Amino acid sequence: MALEIDRYAHVESSIQRWDPRFKLLTLFILIFVLASLRTIPLTVVGAMLSVGLLLVSRIPLGFAFSGLKWVILFLLPFFVILPVTYPGTEAHFMGIPFAPEGMRLAMLIVLKSFSIVIVALVIFGSRRFDVSMVALHRLRCPQLIVQMMLFTYRYIFLFMDEMQRLDTAMKARGFVKKPNLYTLKVMGGFIGTLLIRSFERTERIYKAMLSKGYQGQLPSLIEFKSNARDFIKAGLALMVAVALLAGDWLAGFQVAEKAWY
């Protein structure tokens, strides 16, 4: 999803209007519930719920897909590896071992990943990143962590550009990456240069911040006000999380009896 996760933060929706403190807390609980599911039917329900959440947030689907593409590419090999290598399998398909149980596991993994990435996108894509970080601070996340995340988020874009410039400069001098030691040595220098330039730049930023009175606090004008709607939305999300957890706990007894759902 590119690096500008909050590109569509201006899109009005009931998720966008949701108090980010409630949103962060309840949707993170939902993420951990989704991660702990163990049966296919429930993970399908979880995936459908997360897609529903995405539709409600009105974040463009194309943007969401550009982020999911990476996850899908990373997880596709599991569909090949797990069925073939699942231990103790007798079943064969066209001469190669093929375990339905391994297939089930691969499905489970992909569905869970898919729904969690979507929920994370809804959390951080529906508000400006700095607002989300201030909300995190109000939720008692240490100042140190919040500030470092804000700095890093800013630096990532700067350093990406810096890296592009370095890359262009190397290509202009005729450098081509090849699988040899020389390339690795050049890449070491490349990263070293990136580090030095980045450090010198941030030193200037830090001095500018000090001269403007920075003493370890980042005061914010953002005020959060919660109303009944925020509580209702949080209640709904928590109810879904508890229902999924209860469903998984009940289905948990059946996992051992029946392997395939």
Partner 1 sequence: MHIADGIVSAPVIATGFALMGALAYATTRNVELEEIPKISVVTAVFFVANFIHIPFVVASIHLIMNGLAGVILGKRAFIAITLGVVLQSFFGFGGVSVIGINAVMLGGGALLAYGIWQLRHLLPIKGGEVVFGALAGGLGIFFSGCVLALALVTTGDAFWVTAQAVLGYHLVLMVIEGAVTGACVGFLLKTKPELLSGWKRPDQ
Residues 59 to 118 in contact with partner 1, rule: CB under 8 A = 67-68, 70-71, 74-75, 78, 81-82, 85-87, 101-102, 105, 108-113, 116-117
* Residue 189 binds to partner 1 (criterion: CB under 8 A): yes
Which residues, 191 to 250, sit near partner 1 by CB under 8 A?
Answer: 191-196, 198-199, 202-203, 205-206, 215-216
Q: Smallest distance from the beta carbon of 228 to partner 1, in angstroms? A: 29
Which residues, 141 to 170, sit near partner 1 by CB under 8 A?
Answer: 144-145, 147-149, 151-153, 155-156, 158-160, 163
Q: Which is nearer to partner 1, 44 or 71 (CB)?
A: 71
State how far the Cα of 80 lies from the Cα of 74, in Å rounded to an integer. 12
Contacts of 142 (CB under 8 A, 6+ apart): none
Q: Smallest distance from the beta carbon of 134 to partner 1, in angstroms? A: 15
Q: Which is nearer to partner 1, 41 or 232 (CB)?
A: 41
* Residue 126 binds to partner 1 (criterion: CB under 8 A): no
